[in-house]
Structure 1
Amino acid sequence: MSALLAWFLTNPTVLAIGVGIIGALGWGFHQRLAGARAERSKQAEAEDAARNVADQIDNDIGALPDGAVRKELKSWARD
């Protein structure tokens, strides 16, 4: 058994194939993490844009007088 193991560990072809497999798995794992990082970044940018729009709407509503706000809200409320 040890002779077989020694042959596998000293054979350059077997070592090259093993290193290639480990390298491919490592590269795939790295790509998967990079994709997840990019998706989180994209979602954060979308959330920031939505928050900016919501803040602008809040500011616009806050600038209106109370009567105008009630009038605008009546058009959105169900009777």
Structure 2
Amino acid sequence: MSALLAILSALAGNKTIMAIFATLVGGLGLYVAGGVNRAKKDAARQAAEKLAAAEGRLEMDREATDVERAARDLPDEAARREAMRWARR
């Protein structure tokens, strides 16, 4: 046990080994920070995609509502043609 402590104290006193250790710990910290940053960017991208999809659905619903309102005033044959036009999309 005392031999292990002697080795560790000798390594702690060695400036070169401590510099290498500090560099490794710093590199590990940068790697972890980069992973967190990538995760945040990915979450932001997914949120933007979900927002765009929701806006697209809202716009389609608005268009469909406008067409439905217009179709109420159409005669049966014209309403059928309009429905077929939308069904093909």
TM-score range, shorter chain: 0.7 to 0.9
Q: Distance in 2 between matches of 1:43 and 1:27?
A: 24
Deviations 1:18-64 (A, max 9, x none): 01100000100100110111011011111111111110010110111
Identity %: 20
Q: Which residue of 2 aligns with 1:42?
A: 45
Q: Which residue of 1 aligns with 2:76?
A: none
Number of aligned positions between the proteins? 75
Uncovered stretches (5+) of structure 2, i.e. residues with no partner: 73-78
3-state SS of paired residue (2:43): helix
CA RMSD of aligned residues (A): 1.7
Q: Distance in 2 between matches of 1:58 and 1:18?
A: 60
Deviating 4+ runs (over 6 angstroms): none
Q: Which residue of 1 aligns with 2:64?
A: 61
**Greater CA radius of gyration, 1 or 2?**
2
Q: Distance in 1 between matches of 2:56 and 2:6?
A: 70
TM, length-normalised to structure 1: 0.81
Q: Distance in 2 between matches of 1:9 and 1:45?
A: 49
Q: Distance in 2 between matches of 1:54 and 1:63?
A: 14
TM, length-normalised to structure 2: 0.73
Q: Distance in 2 between matches of 1:4 and 1:53?
A: 66
Match of 1:27 among 30, 40, 61: 30
